[in-house]
């Protein structure tokens, strides 16, 4: 499954060099897998961009990554896709390699 992750532009170089690192969410879920560390991503890059601009302002980086054989769980926070599109959590991994997709400079200049 191909997913997109939106973040602050200042993390671009680090993420592209080292990958996305999992982090622990403070949200409690009925799915025990989501109560551990996870890497979150959206199924559409536009949703990752909307998330990044809403949370980090106008300067963003969108990366894409393949989940491969990883355990992927639908993120219940975005289950109804009312604010953003479908989001997923990749669980059971500490980091995942990713590729640059688009950043704010490219988006606003095209």
Q: Where are the domains of the chain?
A: 2-108
* Tens-digit pLDDT profile for residues 78-100: 666 667 888 898 988 899 999 99
CATH number for the domain formed by residue range(s) 2-108 = 3.20.170.30
Computed over every residue of the chain, the mean pLDDT equals: 87
pLDDT of the residue at 37: 80
CB 29 within 8 A of CB 69: no
As a whole number of angstroms, the distance between CA 39 and CA 5 comes to 9
pTM: 0.88
| Residue appearing with tokens 């769980």 | 73
Structure tokens at 55: 């949370």
Q: Using an 8 Å Cβ cutoff, are 65 and 72 in contact?
A: no
């Amino acid at each position: 499954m191909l997913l997109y992750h939106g973040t602050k532009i200042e993390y671009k170089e680090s993420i592209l060099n080292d990958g996305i690192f999992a982090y622990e969410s403070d949200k409690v879920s009925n799915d025990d897998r989501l109560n551990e560390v996870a890497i979150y991503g959206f199924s559409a890059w536009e949703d990752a961009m909307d998330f990044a601009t809403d949370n980090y302002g106008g300067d963003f980086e969108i990366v894409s990554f393949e989940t491969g054989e990883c355990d992927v769980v639908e993120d219940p926070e975005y289950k109804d896709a009312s604010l953003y599109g479908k989001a997923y959590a990749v669980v059971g991994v500490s980091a995942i390699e990713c590729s640059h997709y688009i950043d704010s400079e490219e988006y606003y200049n095209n």
